[in-house]
Structure 1
C-alpha cells in the first residue's frame, strides 16, 4: 500500500474483525447469553445519559448502577460523534438530500404484519445443549445477576437482526438505488425490507445498536433506515463489500455514510457543472444541425461525462496528479476532444468538411472519431495538467491495455514508481465492458508487478444498449461492471441525470485511487438519445425505450431547472453562458469557411519523440561492439552475489557463456541475445522484455533471471554488469497475448529510448493478439502518425510439433507490409539477431520489428556465430552463399530462403552434392520487409548464368513468404527464368501432427529445392 499524503485523507485502519459480516445470534461476537460485553457497556452509558433511549427491559438491569461506567473508570465519555477524524475530511463537506422517509418505504411499499415469535427463541435452537446456551451455564453466567436469560436473548436477537439489516443495505442497497435516469431500476429487494427481519412500523422508533453506523452507537430503526436509504439507495448505488481488505471497506464506508453520499457544492461549482453540461449539449446540437447526417457518435444522453472528466482534470493538482492518460471509444469522443482536451472547434469542423487542403503527411489517415490528441490544460488554480487521448480503432476496448502501457512508460520515465502523478482514465461502453474479453485481461494486469499503474479510473458510459442489443441479450451478469469484481475494487453506479451525484462519485473515485493505488469503477448510467449513429433509427428495434427517451428532457435542462428553482442561478445568466458557447461554435465554422486550414501540427514528433525521423534511413548504422566490452558483458551474466545459490546445472551454463567470449568460442543464441541486451544497457538504453515464461525462456535458453535454490530470491545479472548502466527489466506475464502485447505497444508509444520487447511463448499463439497487431502495430503510423519501436519475438519453425507449435504465421505479417509500416526479419544466426536488435535502437527511426526466432537452432552447433561477427560489421539484410560466391560462374541453381530451412538445405546439399556444393547457391533473405531489393539484385546478378531459381520454405505454399516474395523475386531475375517454389503442399492447417509425415514432407520439399526426382 502506498504512503499517505496530505491529499489522501487520514489513514483508516481496518478492524480486527470484519464489521460488514452479518452478526448471527450464535456468533462468537455475542458473549455470554448472546450479548457482547462491550455492547452492553455502551448501552449502559446510553441509559445513564437518557434512560428513555433504551428499551425499558434494560432499566431493571442498569437500575443499581450509580454512575456511567466511563466516569466510574475515570474517563469522560465522548459523544456518539466523537472519535478520530472522519475519512471524509479530505473531500468537500457532504450534505444529505431529501429522500422518501423510511416510514413510507416500510409502510406503503409492503404492509408489515407483526411477526409472531416462534416457540424457539429466534436464531437459537432448543435442541442445542443447555437450552441453546451452548457451553454457558444459565444459572452461573448471567450478564446481570437476576436477569431473565430468555428476555436477554430475545433482545439480543433483535439487535443482531438490525445489524444484519445494516449489512444488507451496505451490500445490497444498490439493488434499489435510483441510479437509472429512465426509471428502470428495481424498487424492492427482500433483504432490504425490515419485514424480512421481523420488523414492522411499530418498531420504527425503537432504539437499536447501530454498530459503526454514523449517528451514534444507539439509534432508532427510523434513523438507521433513513441514513442507509440516503447513502445506498439514492442516485448512487455502491458495490464495495466484495473488497476483501477491511481497511479499504471501512474507509469507503465512513466516507459515504458520514455524508450520506451527497455532496455539498458551492454556487461556483454548480455553475461550472452547468457550464460543462451546456457546452456538451450545444456542441452536439451544433454538429447535428450543421453537418446533418454525418456520423459523430453523439454523447447526447450521457452529457454528464463532460463535467465528470472536467472534475478529474481540474482537481488533479490537488491530488498531486500532473498528467492524465485517457482512452475511449468513438461515442462522445469529439465532445471530449473539444470540451476536455481543448482541441479547437476549427480543427474538428475541418475534419467534418473533409477539406482538400488538409494534408495527411504519413499515410491513410483515419476518421475523426478515432484520432488521438494531447494538450496541456491550465486549470483554475493556474497549474498545468498534461492530457493525452490515445488513438484507437473501432475494435471496442482494444485500446485499454495500450492506455495502461502508455501510462506505465510515462510513470517510469518520470520516476513515479507508485503511479501517483500520472493517472490512466479509461472510458468504456456498457456492452463492450461486459462483452470484450480484453477487459478482463486488462483488469488482470492491474495488480501485477511490471504492469501495475497505481490504479485506473474506469468510467462506463452506460447508455443501456449496445447498437441494437439490450442488456438482457448482452450479458449474463446483473451489471455490466460485474467483471471488475474479480480484482476487488469498488464500483459506483450513478444516475447520469444527477450531475452533482456524478461529481461526488468522481471525488470518491479519485480519493480512493490516490489513497490505495488501485482501480475504481464509475458506472455512469445514462441513455443514448439517438441510434448507434446519427443515421440510424433506433425505434426499429427498441420502440418503447425510444418513446420514453424522446419524451425526456436533457440533463442540462433538468439541472438548470433545479438551480433556477433553488435560486442558485438566474435564467438570464444561464442564457448568457449558452450564448457564449454558441457564438464560439458559430465563429469557428465561419473561420474554416473563410480560409483554408493550416497544417495539422498535432502529428509532429514532440516530447520524447523529438528528433526522431518518420522516414526510414537508407544508410547502414554501426552496431558492432568491441570484444573487450563483449567479454565484460559475458562475464557479468555469470556473476552472482557470494551468498546466492545458483542451480548447479545453470551455473555450468553461465560459466560456459563467459568462457565462450574469453576463449573466442562460438556464441549461441542465448548468449548472443544477452550480448545485445548488455551492450545496449551499458550504452544507456533501458531494456524491457515481457511475455509468458520470458525470464527463463520457453526453451530454457535465456536464464535472464536466476532463482536462489534455498531462499527463492531472484537476481537478474544483466542489471548488474556495469556502473551507470541502464535498467534491465524482464517479466513473466500473465497468460494473455492481447492485453500484454497491447500493454507493451502502449509502453513503446511513450518511450522511444527503451528497447521494448514482447515475446510469444510460441509464435503460433500470437494470433490471440490479432486485433492489437492489425489495428495498432501494423497500421498506427499510417492512420494516426504514431511511431513505435516495439520488438516482437515470435518462435517459429517446423520441427514436427504439430499445427499449434510450428508457425508464427509469417504470411499474415507480410500481408500488411506496405508504406514502411514495420520491419520483418527471420535471422539465421545469433550475430544477426545481435545486430538487428542493436540497429533497432541505434537509428533515430522507429518502426515495429517482428523477429521470427528459432527453437531448434537455439542449440544447433552450426547456428552459432564466431565472436568476430559481433565485434565487426552490421546487420545483413541478405547473406550470400560463401561457397558459391567463390565460383559464381559455376553456379547452375540458386535457392533463396529465409530462416531455419537454410540449415536443412546446407545439410542436404552437403549430403547430396558433397563434391560440387559450389554449383548450388543458397541465398538467405534475412530481412523480408522492407524488401531488400538492391542487395538481392546484387546477389542474383552474381549468378546470372544459373539455369534455375527457387524459393524454398518449410511452410505450406499458401503460407510463409512465398506469395509475398514471388513477384518481387521474379521482377529481379527477369522473365527468362520462371521462379519455382519448394515448400509443403497447400494446407488449411499450418503443420501436420505426425512426426513421420513431417519428415516425409521435409524430404520432399528439399528434393524440390534441389531439382531431384526422388
Structure 2
C-alpha cells in the first residue's frame, strides 16, 4: 500500500510506500531496493535526497538468509545503489524455537553488515529514548554519507512466535525471565510519572485516546462497501488503468515500425558515435557485419533486439537490461557498451545516441547474484508501466537460485496482491552438446506454474488473443526468429496491461545462418505471430501431407535440415509455436484442420519428462476433442537435462530426427 502524510519537521507531504512481503524471509529486500532505485531514477534523484528505503528484518533471518548478503553487495554498485538504506533489525534473540547458538556462527545477528563496513548500532529496546536517539543518528549517517546503516533493536517476544505459541516447550529458562520482565510501555510510563513529566491520569487518557482511534477505524471499516484496488498498491500507476483498475482497452496495436526507423537504428548500431574512440578490431568486424545486414535489410538476433529497444526509446519508454555480463552478452553477440582500447574506463553506449529526445537506455552488468538481482529488477519494474525492464541469466538454468523470486513474486504477484508487473526474463536455452548446467532453462517449471486450464475448451471471441494474455499469470515464449523476438519485446509495452514475460533465448541460433529475418517481417503492420505455420510445398497440397510436426525453438532448424536431406518437403509439414503459454488453442486448431489426413507429432529436443510435452499434450487433446493423438518425438526421460558428451548428444539427436521422419513409426500403436 502507499499513504501520504505530513512530515511535521518540514510541513510537507511525504509518501510512504509499503511493498508486499511474502512469508519467505528477507526475499523482499532486493525488491524494495529495486523499486527505490526506479523511483530515484524517474525523479532525477541521483543522490538519494528525495527517496530512501527502510528495511525491517528479523534477527534469525538477517543472519541466516543469503539474500541479505546479496542485497548488501548491491548497495554501492553504480547501477544498483540506492544511496544508503536504514536497516532495522527487530532482534528477538530467538528464531521461532531456535536459539542463537544454533542459528548463527557469529556473535551478533547483524555481523553480515560488516561486509560493507556499515555502522551497526546495538540498542536496548526497553529504553525508548535510546532507540529514538540511535535512529536519529542512523538517519543522519545515511543522509550525510549515503551509505547503509544498521540499527539492532535488542528486545524479546513476550508470547513466543505468535499469540498461540508455547515458548516454554523449548526455551523454559529464557521465558521465565521474560515473564518476570516489566512490559516496556509500563516501564517507560512509570519512569515518566516518577520524574513528574506526565501524570497517571494523562497516561491513562493517552491510552484511552489511542484505543478509541483504533475502535473507530475498525467500526468505519465495516461500513466500507467498495474495495478500491488502488489503495492496495505500492505504486498506483496513475493514468494507466481505468478508474476501476481495468485496462482501458482489450486490443494490442501492430508492433511493426517504419522501414526508415529500422534502417536508422541499424546504422547507429553499426557505428561509434564518439570521435577519437578506438574499438577492438574484432568488434570492428562485428559492426561492419551489422552495417552489411542493414543494407541488405536483414537482421540477426542481436540486431533485432537493438531495433526493439531503440524503437521503444524513441517512444519515450525507458529500457533497462541487467544481469551477469549483459553489456557484451555471455555469447559475445550484444556489445551494447563499447570500450576504448586506449583510455581506461572510457565507454560508449550507441543506443543512447539514437534520437535527440529519446528515453534513456540502461544496460548494466550485475554482481554474480541471481536471487538478489532478479528481485531488484522486479522491484524496478514495479515503479512504472512505461519501462521495459529485463533480466538476463548467464545461462537459462541459473534462474534456479532465484526461484524464490519467481515463485513468490513473478508467478503469483497478481493473484496474491493484484499487482501487475511487466518484468522480462531472458533465459538462454537449448541442447547444444554442453553439460547439464548450461543446457536447459527448465521450461517445464514455468509451464507447470501457468494458470491456463488444459481441459477447458475456449470460446474463440474476437479479442481472444489479448483476453488470453490478460487472464494468464505470465507469458512463456520460445522465439525461433529474430523478428518474433523483436515483436514480442515491443508487444510487452504496447499491451494495455502488464504481465511477466519469460523468453527462452537461443545460443547457437545467435549466429545460425538461417536464423535471420527480413525488414519485411518487422515493418509497420506486422505483429508477433504466436504460431508460425508451414510455408513450403506442403501447404500448397495439404491433402498429400502425411505428418504434421509441431515444435518450438531451435529444434525447428534441425527438423528442416533433416526433412530437406530426406526430400520430404511435400509429405511433412512443420509448424512452430512461438508462444507456448497461454496456449494458442485457436491457431493450433486451424493448423490441425488444414492437414486433415496427417499424423500429428510433437517434437522437442528436451527429454520427455522436461521441456513442453507434458504441458502441450493435454491441450492438444482438448482442442482436437481427443479425435486424433499427438505423438511424442524427442529424447527419452532422464534425470539430467544433458550429458555433456558431444558424441552422446549427436547420437540422441540423430535418433529422434530419424523417428520424426519415419512415416511408419507410429503405425499399429494404440492411442
Normalising by structure 1, what TM-score?
A: 0.62
Matching residue within 486, 499, 511 for 2:128: 499
Matched, 1:629 2:261: yes
- Name which of 559, 564, 568 aligns with 1:910: 564
Task: Name the structure 2 match of 1:871.
Answer: 523
Partner Cα separation in structure 2 for residue 494 and residue 763 of structure 1:
44
1:471 and 2:100 are equivalent in the alignment: yes
Distance 1:603 1:871 in 2: 40
SS at match of 1:659: helix
1:589 CA displacement: 4.0
The RMSD of aligned alpha carbons is: 1.6
Select the structure that is richer in strand. Answer: 2
Residue 649 of structure 2 corresponds to: 998
Q: How does 1:238-257 map to 2 (within 5 A)?
A: none
Instruction: Check conservation: 1:690, 1:730, Cα contact below 8 A.
Output: yes
Equivalent position of 1:823 in the other structure? 475
Contact 1:631 1:658 in 2 (8 A): no
The count of aligned residue pairs is: 637
1:720 aligns with 2:371: no
Match of 2:325 among 675, 686, 693: 693
Q: CA deviation at 1:658?
A: 2.1
In 1, Cα distance between equivalents of 2:63 and 2:50: 29
Deviation at 1:552, TM superposition (A): 1.1
Partner of 2:226: 598
How many Å separate the matches in 2 of 1:962 and 1:995? 24
Match of 2:600 in 1: 949
1:976 to 605, 627, 635: 627
Distance 1:590 1:415 in 2: 42
- Distance in 2, matches of 1:590 and 1:421, equals 36
Deviation sequence 1:486-525 (CA, Å, 0-9, x none) = 1011000000001101111111111110111110000011
- Listed one character per residue, the Cα deviations across residues 284-309 of structure 1 (whole Å, up to 9, x for unaligned) are xxxxxxxxxxxxxxxxxxxxxxxxxx
Q: How far has the Cα of 1:604 moved from its partner?
A: 6.9
Q: How does 1:257-276 map to 2 (within 5 A)?
A: none
User: Are the counterparts in 1 of residues 6 and 12 from structure 2 also a CA contact under 8 Å?
Assistant: yes
Report 1:453-852 matches (<5 A): 453-591=82-220, 595=223, 597-601=225-229, 602-603=231-232, 607-612=236-241, 619-640=251-272, 641-664=274-297, 666-712=298-344, 713-818=346-451, 819-852=471-504
Measure how far apart 1:869 and its partner are: 1.1
The match for 2:454 is none
Q: Secondary structure at the match of 1:951?
A: strand
**Residue aligned with 1:500, SS:** helix
User: SS state of the match for residue 882, structure 1?
Assistant: coil
Q: Decide whether aligned partners of structure 1 residues 837 and 592 sit closer, same or farther in structure 2, where only a CA change above 3 A counts.
A: closer
Residue 362 of structure 1 corresponds to: none
* Separation in structure 2 between the aligned mates of residue 1008 and residue 419 of structure 1, nearest angstrom: 61
Contact (CA 8 Å) 1:605, 1:611: kept in 2 or not? no
Deviations 1:431-462 (A, max 9, x none): 00000000000000000010000100000000
- Residues 676, 591 of structure 1: alpha-carbon distance in 2 compared, 3 angstrom cutoff: closer
Deviation per residue, 1:302-360 (Å, 9 max, x gap): xxxxxxxxxxxxxxxxxxxxxxxxxxxxxxxxxxxxxxxxxxxxxxxxxxxxxxxxxxx
Q: Paired residue for 1:854?
A: 506
Q: 1:452, 1:622 → 2: CA distance?
A: 37
Distance 1:931 1:605, change over 3 A: farther
Other-structure match for 2:459: none
Q: Deviations over 1:781-809 (max 9, x none)?
A: 10001111111100000001010010000
Deviation at 1:591, TM superposition (A): 4.5
1:823-874 deviation per Cα after TM superposition (whole angstroms, max 9, x unaligned): 1100000011001001111222100000000000000011111121111411
- How far is 1:397 from its partner? 0.3
In structure 2, distance between residues paired with 1:786 and 1:863 = 36
SS in 1 for 2:373: helix
* Cα distance, 1:730–1:379 mapped onto 2, change above 3 Å: same
Which aligned pairs between 1:127-526 and structure 2 lie closer than 5 A? Answer: 373-381=1-9, 382-526=11-155
CA distance in 1, matches of 2:116, 2:588: 54
Deviation at 1:583, TM superposition (A): 2.1
d(CA) in 2 for partners of 1:977, 1:425? 58
The structure-2 alpha-carbon separation of the partners of 1:599 and 1:607, relative to structure 1 and needing over 3 Å to count, comes to closer
1:959 aligns with 2:610: yes
Between the aligned partners of 1:865 and 1:598, the Cα distance in structure 2 is 51
Tell me: CA distance 1:405–1:530, structure 2 relative to 1, closer, same or farther (3 Å).
same
Question: What does the per-residue CA deviation read over 1:500-555, in whole Å, with 9 as the maximum and x for residues that have no partner?
Answer: 01111111111110111110000011001112122211110001111111111111
Q: What TM-score do the two structures reach when normalised by structure 2?
A: 0.92
In structure 1, what is the Cα distance between the partners aligned to 2:219 and 2:251?
48
Match of 1:61 in 2: none
**How far, CA to CA, are the matches of 1:598 and 1:591 in structure 2?**
12
Q: 1:927 aligns with which of 574, 579, 585?
A: 579
User: Contact (CA 8 Å) 2:447, 2:612: kept in 1 or not?
Assistant: yes
**Partner of 1:113 in structure 2?**
none
2:659 corresponds in structure 1 to 1008
Give the Å deviation of 1:605. 9.4
Q: Unaligned regions of 5+ residues in structure 2, if any?
A: 452-470, 666-671
In 1, distance between residues paired with 2:630 and 2:662? 13
Q: Identify if the C-alpha distance between structure 1 residues 530 and 604 changes in structure 2 by more than 3 Å, giving closer, same or farther.
A: closer
Do structure 1's residue 886 and structure 2's residue 519 form an aligned pair? no
- Give the SS at the match of 2:15: strand
Pair 1012,918 (structure 1): closer, same or farther in 2 beyond 3 Å: closer
Residue 606 of structure 1, CA deviation: 6.2
Secondary structure at the residue paired with 1:562?
A: helix
Deviation string 1:195-221 (CA, Å, 9 cap, x unpaired) is: xxxxxxxxxxxxxxxxxxxxxxxxxxx
Larger Rg: 1
The whole-number CA distance in structure 2 between the counterparts of 1:606 and 1:542 is: 42
Structure 1 residue 1012: Cα displacement: 5.7
Query: C-alpha displacement at 1:680, in angstroms?
Result: 1.0
Alignment partners' CA distance in 1, 2:263 and 2:72: 43
- The question of whether the paired residues in 2 share the 8 Å contact of 1:1007 and 1:1013 is answered with no
d(CA) in 2 for partners of 1:732 and 1:620?
Answer: 32
| C-alpha distance 681-400 of structure 1, shift in aligned 2 (>3 A) | same
Residue of structure 2 in register with 1:366 after alignment: none
Pick 1 or 2: higher relative contact order, CA cutoff 8 A, min separation 6. 2
Query: What is the DSSP-based 3-state SS (H/G/I as helix, E as strand, rest coil) of the residue aligned with 2:589?
Result: helix
Local SS of the residue matching 2:438: coil
Q: Does the aligned pair in 1 maintain the 2:233–2:419 contact within 8 Å? A: no
CA distance in 1, matches of 2:645, 2:235: 54
Q: How many Å separate the matches in 2 of 1:604 and 1:504? A: 32
Contact 1:800 1:995 (C-alpha < 8 Å) held by counterparts: yes
Counterpart secondary structure, 2:237: helix
